[in-house]
Structure formats: C-alpha cells, structure tokens
Amino acid sequence: MTGSGTENAPGSRGVGDSSSPTIDNPSARPDGSLNDNADDSHGLIIISPSFPAADDSDLVLSSIDNVVFYVKSAIVEKASSAARMSFSKLAAGPHPYDKDLVVVSIPERAPVLMLILQALEGKISLEDPIPECDDLIEAIDALPKYDLEPRTVVRPGTAIYIYLLSHAPTRPLDIFALAAHHKLDSIAVEASKSLLDYPVESIEDEIAIRIGSHYLNRLFSLHRMRLEGMSWLMLKPPMFHGVPQANFLSRTPQVSNGCGEGGRRNLQNAWALGAAPIARDTRPDLNEDRVRKTFQPLALDLDCVVCRSSFMVRIQEVVEGWAAVRDTI
Ligand SMILES: [Zn+2]
C-alpha cells in the first residue's frame, strides 16, 4: 500500500486525541533505540518518547524496528515540501491500535529516524547525550532519500553540526568523507585538521570515491604543503656570529668580529645535525616539541654564547613558522 495513507493519517481523530491509544512502553530508550530485550516479534510498537502523540501531530511514522514517531507535517514541509511528498509515497499501513490512523513505514532504524526528525524540528539539544557517530552518519546519508538537502539541515551552529564535529577527532576520515560527500564544507575543513596524522596514501578506494576528487585533492595538497613547509623552514640556518665583510680590493674575506668563518661552520653543522632527522621524518602533524627536542641539545654544544643564542632564536623562528603553516584544507 502506498501513498494514500498519510494524508489522512490522523483522520478526523487527531493523534493527540486523548482517546487515541498510545503505548507507554518502557523498552524505549531516550535515544529512540530499543532495549535488547524489546520484543517486536508480535507486532508490538513502541512510541518514541521524543515524539509522542500530540494534538497537532498529523503524521505518524514508524521505523523498521517498530518505533512510532508522531510528527507535525508542517515541520517536514518547512524543511522541504518534496520531503513531505517523499514520506507520503512510502508504504503505509493501519495503526495497529487505532484503525483511524495510518502509519508510514520509514526504512530507517529508530535512532536514525529520530535524528532526522529532531534535526528537522531543531529539537536536538547539546544537553542531550552525544549521538553515536554511526547513527549521525547514517541519518545524514539518508536525508537525500527523502528529498532533504544535508546542507540545509546541517547548518553551522546547530546541535547536529556540533555533534558531528565532536566526532571528528576520533573518526576523522569518516566525518571528512561524510562532509565531502555532502559538500558540508566547513565540517570537511575542520575534520581535515584531525587527518594530519592520517596516512592519506592508504585511503581505500571506496572511501576515496565517497570523498570525491575535489576534496581528495584538497586533502593531499594540504599534506604536501605542510611537508614542503617544514622542508623550507629547515633550509635556513641560524644567523652566524660575525659576518664576513665584503672587500672588493682583497681576496681575503674580512671578518668584522665574533666567531667568523669557524663559528659559521659550527652553526651550520649543528643546524644540519638537527635538520636532517626532521627533514627525513617530517610528517604533516609534526609536533613543535619534536622540533625543540631535536635542536635544543645541539645548541648546548656551541661554546659561544652569541652563537648559541642565534641558534635558539632560529629554533623559535622555525616553531613559529611551523605554527603558521596552514593546517586545514
Ligand atoms: Zn659566536
């Protein structure tokens, strides 16, 4: 049975009517999922605690695990008039406890359907438990099926947006791929920061296809740019102590003062000793502590206080330069 049901789902008898049968079911968790011992084998339904029957709810949806949601169709239509039509085209059947009602079957798990509806209604609160990452991904991936545009649902500042970002540090590739696939640009940008330690060359084909060439290229470019950035920083040695003065009348360089040519070699050698392992092992997520711990012991080997100071200044310049290298796509 398709189509017809939802238009008159509550019929002349609103679902919020006090005489409407609702089931106070203790087996529903607040997140909309079912307890492990929930028994749906006998056609029992569970009413989502987050979407109970109300006077103005005129759309009844059921998840594949038999959790029922009472919704205001106006909320769905406000998000997308096409979405309301999409729901109405899905299979529908009679409400098991109220023959005047029609329940539309939505092919999603309860936690996923709940997230979709909460996002549409703006009911997700940051005070709620953080939704599971997989549920969030599944919910956002499902939106286009119902003619809902992820970019209009997952807007900066909304709770679902913030929850997605909260998973980026632990699930960076999944969040990046989701954001890239749906062109949620600011989320992709934020997630890319958590991918600096990810071996991008090992991204599997399936994920790469989901990410798409545009965002994949941006991610690879970010990693390449950071590697080149550190190599560039390593190239410049500390300023040496005692600058040879150019004397065009003499073939012998004139050293004004300080450690002169010998000091310059010492500084350059010390710098090269530190730069070699940094350059060899540079990663896009190289930590500034690694830079300091590599170079600072080498400064102690310099006898001249001025040369040592110059060396330390250069270390700080590198650290600051590295911090200034872009760390997002
Ligand atoms: Zn010196």
State in Å: Cα 240 to ligand 1 middle: 7
pLDDT of the residue at 15: 35
- Separation of CA 94 and ligand 1 centre (Å): 89
- The answer for residues whose C-beta is within 8 angstroms of residue 294's C-beta and 6 or more apart is 274, 277, 278
Centre of ligand 1 to C-alpha 248, Å, is 25
Cα of 298 from ligand 1 centre, angstroms:
14
How close is the Cα of 297 to the center of ligand 1, in Å?
Answer: 17
Nearest to 192 by CA among 170, 176, 203: 176
- Could you tell me which residues come within 8 angstroms of residue 206 by beta carbon, excluding any fewer than 6 positions away? none
Mean pLDDT by 10 residues, the chain (329 residues): 34 34 39 43 75 88 93 86 80 70 90 93 81 97 93 91 96 98 98 96 97 98 96 92 60 64 90 94 93 94 91 96 96
Name which of 191, 222, 186 is nearest 207 in CA terms: 191
Give the Å distance between the CA of 291 and the centre of ligand 1: 22
Q: What distance in Å separates the CA atoms of residue 140 and residue 143, rounded to the nearest whole number?
A: 5
In this predicted structure, what is the pLDDT of residue 245?
53
Would you state the pLDDT for residue 139? 97
3-state secondary structure of 223: helix
Distance CA 39, CA 46 (A): 10
Burial environment of residue 248 by CB neighbours within 10 A (0 to 12, 13 to 18, 19 or more): exposed
Ligand 1 centre and the CA of 290: distance in Å?
Answer: 25
How high is the pLDDT of residue 25?
39
According to DSSP H, which parts of the chain are helical? 73-79, 81-88, 110-121, 133-142, 150-153, 159-167, 172-181, 185-193, 205-211, 213-235, 260-281, 288-299, 305-324
Kind and range of the H or E run holding 31: none
Question: Residue 248's pLDDT is what?
Answer: 55
- Distance from the alpha carbon of residue 321 to the mean position of ligand 1, in angstroms: 24
Distance CA 329, CA 321 (A): 18
């947006």: which residue's tokens?
Answer: 161
**Cut 0.85: pTM above it:** no
pLDDT in the model for residue 101:
75
122 Cα to the center of ligand 1, angstroms: 65
Give per-residue pLDDT as tens, 32-58. Answer: 444 444 444 445 778 999 899 888 888
Cβ contacts of 102 within 8 Å, gap of 6 or more: 4, 5, 6, 8, 9, 60, 92, 93, 94, 95
